[in-house]
Amino acid sequence: MHIEDIAYEVDGIEMVGHLAYDDAEKGKRPTVLLSHEGPGLDDHVKGRAERLAGMGYCAFALDYHGGGVAIPDFQEMMARLGALMADPGATRRRGLAGLDVLVDRPQADAGRVAAIGYCFGGTMSLEIGCAGADVQAIVGFHPGIGGGRTDLANIKGSVLMCLGTEDPFVPLEERLAWERDMAAAGVADWQLDLYGGVGHSFTNKDAEALGMPGIKYDKTADERSWASMLRLFAETIDA
């Protein structure tokens, strides 16, 4: 397994992403861009990148805060997220910069690319699609799906969003509004997986460390959402 941290710059900030692929395999392979949760690039998303690499993908976990590390201070993390939420252009630049780093790798097949993300990383994956990037699959795990996006029609690939019904950050009204927006934009292929009784950050085993209501790991939802992602990959970047 080849594992490498790669530094690159966006908006004058040095980002440090995490690349993983099976170096025993030769040639180009399906490619996955991963975007981390709000606290930053941590072992959770790095582990997912390495898991995908072991399955034959070239995977790159981008960094959208800088430094390639998680942010220990909760208030600082929320301030950074707030700035990105208020500036979709900056969110897209950071996502697209990570995509550029990934597809520039000789192991990456630029014609078979998925963008997946966790929490705000799921939001970023949607923004990458809204920017018109050539990605064949977009997957969000407990993502933010609101924000009044006006460019959904630019999405070229298939979309899968995986949400818990009890996610405190995505109430029912917001889910329904997103469904209406996707239909109105004419997005060709989109899915919304819902997990009953499940909250936010259900893929992260350390989620409860934040001590916030509605944020909790759920093994069943984690496994089901991963399986749904792989089914979408089979239809798109593995096809």
pLDDT by residue (tens digit) across 92-126? Answer: 999 999 999 999 999 999 999 999 999 999 999 99
The first and second tokens of residue 65, run together, are 């805060």
pLDDT tens for each residue of 139-168: 999 999 875 667 999 999 999 999 999 999
- What CA–CA distance (Å, rounded) separates 84 from 76? 13
Q: Give the model confidence (pLDDT) of 159-202 as tens digits.
A: 999 999 999 999 999 999 999 999 999 998 999 999 999 999 99
State the fold for domain 2-235: Rossmann fold (3.40.50)
- Mean pLDDT (whole number) for 53-72: 94
Q: Point out which residues pair with 31 in neighbouring strands.
A: 58, 113
Kindly report the pTM of this predicted structure. 0.95
Task: Flag the least confident range among 26-30, 69-73, 152-156.
Answer: 69-73
Give me the residue spans of the domains in the chain.
2-235
3-class state of residue 227 by DSSP? helix
Band the pLDDT of 76: cuts 50, 70, 90. Answer: confident
